[in-house]
Amino acid sequence: MKIRQATVKDKKEAMAIAKSLNEWFNKDGIKNMAIDFKMNHVIVAKEKKKVLGFLSYTTYSGKMLLLWMGVYKGIQRSGVGKALVDWLVKESKRFKLYSIEVETLPEEDIYKPYERTRAFYYKNGFERVLYKKARVKGWDDQIVLEKKIK
Ligand SMILES: CC(C)(COP(=O)(O)OP(=O)(O)OC[C@H]1O[C@@H](n2cnc3c(N)ncnc32)[C@H](O)[C@@H]1OP(=O)(O)O)[C@@H](O)C(=O)NCCC(=O)NCCS
């Protein structure tokens, strides 16, 4: 498996994976992800020329922001997500950034699929640091998780 910056074709494959993960990403999420893919970095994990998973990121004020990630459902839990986060940790070290931050749904919002998402982030060294109340109708409350870069 190789991790590299996504080409336009890779981004299309990554969007197809995102659309198939419909327990996590709804129509608005997919629409916003398409914009974020255009404006920010996207890396993909590939094997035999096929995209298995993706991660989109940017930086802001000394922090790495993990915007979106997803792994093809048929191969979740086989280390692809961890490999993508490990790549981001190395990139954060290269730029001497303080941390990686990601937003996700809180424990208070009972919904099974995101329990698994949080389990993944916690296992990979992220800690809950902030609760963000939704400010706009239709938005969800979010928590900010942080992984300090040592
Ligand atoms: C979250 C996600 C990216 C993780 O990728 P993955 O390739 O499945 O994860 P990995 O195989 O690298 O898991 C690494 C560790 O995280 C933990 N973990 C991962 N998935 C888990 C789950 N469903 N339940 C509990 N722990 C989990 C485990 O400890 C796992 O190690 P182990 O399998 O040796 O026990 C992937 O499951 C996914 O695409 N989810 C749907 C979309 C999503 O939630 N995206 C993030 C929000 S933007």
Nearest CA to ligand 1 atom 23: 116
Residue 114 CA to residue 91 CA, distance in Å, equals 26
Q: For domain 2-148, give the CATH number.
A: 3.40.630.30
Question: What spacing in Å lies between the alpha carbon of 123 and ligand 1's midpoint?
Answer: 9
Residue 137 CA to residue 80 CA, distance in Å, equals 35
Ligand 1 atom nearest to 114, measured from its CA: 44
Ligand 1 atom nearest to 25, measured from its CA: 42
Residue 43: beta bridge partners?
A: 5, 55
What is the tens place of the pLDDT at every residue in 65-102?
A: 999 999 999 999 999 999 999 999 999 999 999 999 99
| Nearest in space to 84 (alpha carbons), one of 57, 106, 62 | 57
Residue 4 has a pLDDT of 98
Residue identified by tokens 């970095």 is 41
| Of 47, 120, 126, 142, best ligand 1 pocket probe by most atoms within 8 Å of the beta carbon | 120
What is the tens place of the pLDDT at every residue in 18-58?
A: 999 999 999 999 999 999 999 999 999 999 999 999 999 99
Element (H, E) at 118: helix 112-123
What is the tens place of the pLDDT at every residue in 100-124?
A: 999 999 999 899 999 999 999 999 9
Write out residues with Cβ below 6 Å of ligand 1: 21, 24, 68-71, 76-82, 104, 116-117, 119-120, 123
Any idea what DSSP says for residue 69? E
Question: What spacing in Å lies between the alpha carbon of 94 and ligand 1's midpoint?
Answer: 25
Neighbours of 45 (CB within 10 A): 24
Residue 71 has a pLDDT of 98
How many angstroms separate the most distant Cα atoms in the chain?
Answer: 44
| Nearest in space to 57 (alpha carbons), one of 33, 78, 80, 79 | 33
| Nearest in space to 80 (alpha carbons), one of 143, 17, 26 | 17
